[in-house]
Amino acid sequence: MTPHTLPAVRGGAVTAHGAGQPPQALAEFVHPGDRVLTVGPGTAPLQLAGWTGQPVTSVHTTLADVEVIRAALGPHGRAAGTVDATVGELFDGRPDAGLFDVVLVTAAVPGLSPRWLDQLAPGGVIVAPVALGGLHLWTACGHDHVKADGLLYGSVLAAGLPAVGPPSAPGERFAVTQSGPPVERLSCPTWAPQWAGVTPPRLTPEGYVDLWAWLATRDDRITAARTDGTEWGPGCALVVGHSAVHVRPDGLWLSDTQPATLALAQVVAEDVQEWGRQHRPAATELTCRLGRRPDAGPDELVTAAGWTTHRPVQVSRPAKKEEPQ
């Protein structure tokens, strides 16, 4: 059974959590004159309005989020219409405002709302923190203009560690916070000497995120876990039922030494070693395909699949040509 690591879709809406500030690489996709939509919490619309020189449209789940934007704009910015901020359903975007060149999502989501795609102008890009294995993978989603095959791809721009956040309440349509996705709480693990040194020595925090992302692409049972009785976490763990294998910079820590748990540890160890054999690919080398099942309903998310470091993808936005004088 896969632990509850990802937000869920309930009643056509995404249960999402705040994912922090967008990565610097977002600047590669936003050009002067672009029409931009932001979906979710935060003050990114203010910066994007400065980049584009155009009013930015945004949708938030609470009036408090909208008031943060309005207060930061000040009287002049509000009068100038620098940001058109409103309360609404994040899943719906802003169908009243036309098509957008860039849609920036600031809530960690398990996939893209088809309505965001409907509101995307030709050649446009959605940048969103797609949840994978408990991580936020900031992903540029769009068409590969070199392949020109009409398929939708994702290319990771940055990856961040999750923060501890409360799980969504039953039936809650949206739970947007700044804290991050739910984190599995597990009992204190046991040091198993035979698994010492499985993870590479001198693993940096960035390298740990890279390894975590790699493991999550190879096994959908990878999740974010915080261990009771320790200061760890949230960290990477493979969890099946009551068995858990924690991936730590100093090795693998096991929930117990039962045969089932030892078997899981062997799986993790082999995947860690493969990461090393592949020259420790970074999370930003990951790409994915995006799509829906053929029988998907109209409100089913467009989800990522086929995460790999072996598929060259160039999701980009050429600068707009200047209009002749």
* Residues 111 and 260 reside in one and the same domain: no
The boundaries of the domain holding residue 195 are 184-277
* Residues 14 and 88 reside in one and the same domain: yes
Interatomic CA distance for residues 27 and 253, integer angstroms: 40
Assigned domain for 178 exists: no
Assigned domain for 228 exists: yes
Give per-residue burial for 204-233: e unless 16+ CB within 10 Å, then b: eeebbbbbbbbbbbbbebbbbbbbeeeebb
Report residue 65 as tokens.
């989020």
* Residues 248 and 192 reside in one and the same domain: yes
* Residues 62 and 191 reside in one and the same domain: no
pLDDT computed for residue 150 by the predictor: 81
pLDDT computed for residue 273 by the predictor: 95
Residue the block writes with tokens 């109209």: 298
Assigned domain for 116 exists: yes
- CATH for 155: 3.40.50.150
| Beta strands 287-291 and 302-308, pairing class | antiparallel
Interatomic CA distance for residues 116 and 127, integer angstroms: 11
Assigned domain for 158 exists: yes
Domain total of the chain: 2
- Which stretches of the chain score pLDDT less than 50? 1-17, 163-181, 325
For residue 9, give every residue at least 6 positions away whose Cβ sits within 8 Å of its Cβ, in sequence order, or none.
15, 110, 299, 300, 301
pLDDT computed for residue 322 by the predictor: 55
* Residues 38 and 80 reside in one and the same domain: yes
Residues of the chain above pLDDT 70, percent: 82
pLDDT computed for residue 168 by the predictor: 39
